[in-house]
Amino acid sequence: MKVLVTGGAGFIGSHIVDALIERGDDVVVVDDLSTGFASNVNPEARLCRLSITDPGLADVFEQERPDVVSHHAAQVNLRRSADDPLFDAQVNILGSINIIVNCVRLGVRRLLYASSGGAVYGEPQYLPVDENHVSNPLSQYGVSKRAVEHYLHSYAQYGLNYVALRYSNVYGPRQNPKGEAGVVAIFSEQMLQGVRPTIFGPGNKTRDYAHVSDVVQAHLLAMDRGNNTTYNIGTGVETSDQQVFDAVAETLGYRDSPLYTSVRHGEIQRICLDCSKARRELSWSPRLSFKEGVQVTVPYYRCQGAHR
């Protein structure tokens, strides 16, 4: 099977590429390397350095004619989405439409879309949040992710077969600690450098953390199951900022305490995802607990630091 992966030089996308190569698929990566790294791309995959907003994407589709498209390329910085919503919309909405229309034009068998379970729902009315929960995203990023889901639903009438995966907070090796997201990566690098990590608020804000290996497994299952539908992909477990700090500190043997500062405006305070639909229809469930995931993730950042 030939699979085109957008954002395949990034954190989650590169792990998906590795899994596809391992199972014998022919993989093409489309990534402009604005946030991804060529070194993340499996050497057996072909890299096309191109933005998903580029009209030349049509030529890539024409030449490669993929069976399946895995769409992970996105502007993911929440702060930038607020400061520059036009850029956020250009990449996340217009870029996604560019992909959708090319999939329909060439009769791609399936389009998998990486959506956000942490951003599309907004402030939860109940926990855990299932796919039927009202969607009132607080961030411009969340709005753009939700808008693309509407476009996917609209294009189903033109023959598009899609699955949208609403990821919780994904963590694991290759996550960039220089960004604003990825608190496991950020805390790991800061502790390794002797910098006291900062927690915004008293440490009781919660998120649902899924290890990237579990997310990859959900993605592979969704390539053959589910039609024109949406799945939450997470653990259903709330993990607080303080618990993240404690787990990383324990793994690294870090003895200092965190710094506490004011809560950041616009952030939801609690969320976790109900993933029973994915368990029922994809036969998927997460395998790693948060503590186990941290224990297999933190050594990556220790190794990265040793090679600097």
pLDDT per residue as tens digits for the range 258-291: 999 998 776 789 999 999 999 999 999 999 999 9
DSSP secondary structure, 9-60, as one string: TSHHHHHHHHHHHHTT-EEEEE---SSS-GGGS-TTSEEE---TT-TTHHHH
- Whether 105 and 49 share a structural domain: yes
| Residue 248 shares a structural domain with residue 111 | no
Candidates 113, 121, 141, 301; catalytic one = 141
- In tens, the pLDDT along 84-122 reads 999 999 999 999 999 999 999 999 999 999 999 989 999
Do 147 and 176 fall into the same domain? no
The phi and psi torsions of 45 (rounded to 5 degrees) equal -95, 155
Report the distance separating Cα 75 and Cα 283, nearest Å. Answer: 30
Question: Could you tell me the residue range of the domain that residue 185 belongs to?
Answer: 172-207+237-274+288-306
Q: Give the mean pLDDT of 60-69.
A: 98
Q: Strands 68-71 and 110-116, how do they pair? A: parallel
- In whole angstroms, give the CA distance from residue 133 to residue 113: 19
Number of domains in the chain: 2
Nearest CA-CA partner of 9 in 78, 70, 95: 70
CA–CA dist 111, 229 (Å, integer): 11
**Same domain, yes or no, for 127 and 264?**
no
Return the bridge partners of 230, or none. Answer: 164
pTM for the model stands at 0.96
- The CATH number linked to 110 is 3.40.50.720
Residues 213 and 228 in one domain: yes
What are the pLDDT digits (tens) for 139-195? 999 999 999 999 999 999 999 999 999 999 999 999 999 876 799 999 999 999 999
Are residues 58 and 92 both part of a single domain? yes
Instruction: Please check whether residue 29 lies inside any domain of the structure.
Output: yes
Confirm whether 260 is a catalytic residue. no
Same domain, 77 and 47: yes
CB atoms within 10 A of CB 270: 15
